[in-house]
Amino acid sequence: MPAAGALPANIHCAHDYEDLARQALEPAVFAHLAGGAGRDVAVRNNRAAFEALKITPRVLRDLKAGSTRLSLGGEARPHPIWLGPVAFQALFHAGAEVETARAAAAVGAGLVASTLSSVTLEEIAAAAGPDRWFQLYVQPAREATLDLVRRAEAAGYRALVVTVDAPVHAPGLTSLRAGFRGGQASANLAGWTAPEAAPAPGESRVFQGLMPAAPTWADIDWLRAQTALPLWLKGVMHPDDARAALAAGVDGLVVSNHGGRELDSAPSSLSALPPVRAAVGESFPLLFDGGIRCGEDVFKAIALGADGVMLGRLQAWALAAAGALGVGHMIKLLREELEVCMALAGCVDLADIRRAEVRAETWAGKEGPC
């Protein structure tokens, strides 16, 4: 492992941080991070979807004015890479989310701080750059939800990202079998106690015990009326849900199957991206999350309709290996991998990527347009 303040040796690409994280973390924690829900089917499908896509090279194009810049939500950004919300980062590094925030500020990456963070949202904001958003889990008590919203506003977060795909948590067999038992507490929820709903005899522990506290579209309508911050929904995979979000007045969507950590039989995030893009139109802000490991993956997600991508496991692996320096280095590598891919595919900017030829290819040699 690297000495403090030093870059890790033998890191040649962003994905190399996975192997270093495996060395740095307790085996149960690494299993928790790498695994997903159930038998990890959705985790594998996220990667398989990327690997099935091929990018057709283009040649002899003038790319000396090439750039990864974009504008989203009225703000200019140097590249399309966000650090997505990752819970309880003290599991991976003693500096936790503060280290991640420092890295995001240093390399111009958008940061999405989690409700379930190891340190408070105010501490994260103090270390972060201006491009910071707050990921919100709607709480059983509206008072607790509103408290989080007001604190995020006061701390200078520029948007709320409401995770909507986890009304209950699906157990992950990889994590459980490795001995991971959780037990972390969110610093942001100190002082708030979730009411317990005990189902009556014969009732379901899920439907009558847990689902009464789960958010609905009524909560999104309520949130929209409580804040002037841009409101994003994370975890939208179906075109009908995307259209309902538009009708509710949200400002953006994140197409995501939660990194394969909830519904194990969910389709890959990548396969859901084109129909969601078609449902919301070409100009509606759309981010992607689920399975990004290299710059070519970023290219493919943008080609299929995303404006930018969020990183989950890559972020945590780099944090575990080398703290803020590792996270910043990983983003630098990922951006350069994207730029190399753009150059070889003949794309001068992100808009050009949307016109690139990306197609599915099987081992049998059968191809089809995406």
Residue 78 is assigned to a structural domain of this protein? yes
- What whole-number distance in Å separates Cα of residue 40 and Cα of residue 116? 22
Residue 93 is assigned to a structural domain of this protein? yes
**Sequential pLDDT tens for the chain (370 residues):** 566 667 888 899 999 999 999 999 999 999 999 999 999 999 999 999 999 999 999 999 999 999 999 999 889 999 999 999 999 999 999 999 999 999 999 999 999 999 999 999 999 999 999 999 999 999 999 999 999 999 999 999 999 999 999 988 888 999 999 999 887 899 999 988 776 667 888 889 899 888 888 899 999 999 999 999 999 999 999 999 999 999 999 999 999 999 999 999 999 999 999 999 999 999 999 999 999 999 999 999 999 999 999 999 999 999 999 999 999 999 999 999 999 999 999 999 999 999 999 999 865 555 544 4
Query: What is the domain range of residue 325?
Result: 14-182+208-358
Residue 282 is assigned to a structural domain of this protein? yes
Residue 3 is assigned to a structural domain of this protein? no
pLDDT for the residue numbered 370: 41
**Which of 32, 79, 258, 329 is flagged as catalytic?**
258
Q: Give exposure, 139-175, as e/b (b: 16+ Cβ within 10 Å).
A: bbeeebbebbbebbbebebbbbbbbbbbbeebebebb
Label residue 348 exposed, middle or buried (CB < 10 Å: 0-12, 13-18, 19+).
middle
Which tokens belong to 198? 């005990």
Domain count, the chain: 1
Residue 82 is assigned to a structural domain of this protein? yes
pLDDT for the residue numbered 366: 52
Residue 4 is assigned to a structural domain of this protein? no
Cα angle 223-237-284, degrees, rounded to a multiple of 5 = 65
Residue 100 is assigned to a structural domain of this protein? yes
As a whole number of Å, the end-to-end CA separation of the chain is 41
Residue 369 is assigned to a structural domain of this protein? no
Q: Is residue 12 among the annotated active site residues? A: no
pLDDT for the residue numbered 181: 86
CATH number, domain containing residue 40: 3.20.20.70
